[in-house]
Amino acid sequence: MRAMTLDSATRLLAGPGGSPSSSDLSTHLATHGPLDIPARDDPGWRSGMWRAVSESGLLGRGGAGFPSGVKWDAARRSGRRPMVVVNAMEGEPASAKDRVLLTYAPHLVIDGAEVAATVVGASEVVVCVADHSGPAAAALEAAITERNRSRRSSI
């Protein structure tokens, strides 16, 4: 089995020309399209999305590989105020997956967090980024700023 290197991970996130996908919103939207999330009060969409994630077998990206559908279900049914936490702390030894994702595809990370928040009924998303993740944290901050600016201009 070949080890995942920063170079090979970057190729996985490559855009059409083979270079890393741009982290700007316009390129993200041109490549992936906008999220099609209906109003938060649409229980059919929320339960359908939860079922799709559960049936897909999607696992957390950390060492435990915990099923995402189980996490989402626990948050939905807890009776407490749900919150989505994106753990990008890079706690696994010799791993750079979080830094690569946040640096080259921050809008995909944000999209996933928005879908999760909608499904579980959370009004907050917290992204935990390690201190040593300078370019990744900067790319995430820029992506959040760009989305906020885009939302304000479309209102």
Q: pLDDT truncated to tens, each residue of the chain (155 aa)?
A: 344 444 444 444 555 444 455 678 888 888 888 888 876 678 888 888 889 999 998 887 766 778 999 988 998 888 899 899 888 887 777 777 788 888 888 998 999 999 999 999 899 999 988 877 788 888 899 999 998 888 777 65
pTM beyond 0.95, yes or no: no
CB atoms closer than 10 angstroms to residue 24: 15
CB 108 within 8 A of CB 97: no
Give the 3-state secondary structure of residue 151. helix
- What is the pLDDT, as a whole number, of residue 3? 45
Q: Which two tokens stand for residue 137?
A: 């944290």
Distance of alpha carbon 120 from alpha carbon 50, whole angstroms: 9
- What is the pLDDT, as a whole number, of residue 125? 93
CB 125 within 8 A of CB 152: no
CB 63 within 8 A of CB 92: yes
Give, as one character, the DSSP assignment of residue 19.
S
